[in-house]
């Protein structure tokens, strides 16, 4: 599953530099996550780093984008060409 940023985002800028896949960017009003690049940090870390640093806990799993750990790992390999 990709992660998503909800409208509780306060644009604090701490999540963007933590993303190893560069999936997080500034949107028109709040930060957004590109689901094609989000692997929930699978392949990089044990836990999603953006969730770890978010001070307002506004980065849940996106229920519209369900992916297994194996699918996330395949996406990681594709993104990193590993």
**Contact of 58 with 5, CB cutoff 8 Å:** yes
Query: How far apart are alpha carbons 66 and 75 in whole angstroms?
Result: 13
SS3 78: helix
Q: What's the start-to-end Cα distance of the chain, in Å? A: 20
Q: What is the pTM of this model?
A: 0.91
Nearest to 16 by CA among 28, 5, 8, 25: 25
For each of the domains in the chain, give its residue range(s) and CATH number, in order of start. 16-81 (3.30.70.20)
Task: Please check the confidence at residue 47 and state whether its pLDDT lies above 90.
Answer: yes
* Predicted confidence band of residue 81 (pLDDT cuts 50, 70, 90): confident
Look-up: residue for tokens 């990681």?
Answer: 76
């Amino acid at each position: 599953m990709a992660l998503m940023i909800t409208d509780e985002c306060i644009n604090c800028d701490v999540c963007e530099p933590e993303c190893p896949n560069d999936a997080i960017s500034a949107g028109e009003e709040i930060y957004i996550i590109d689901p094609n690049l989000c692997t929930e940090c699978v392949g990089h870390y044990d836990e999603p780093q953006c969730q770890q640093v978010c001070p307002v806990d506004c980065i849940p799993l996106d229920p519209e984008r369900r992916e297994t750990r194996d699918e996330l790992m395949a996406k990681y390999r594709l993104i990193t060409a590993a």
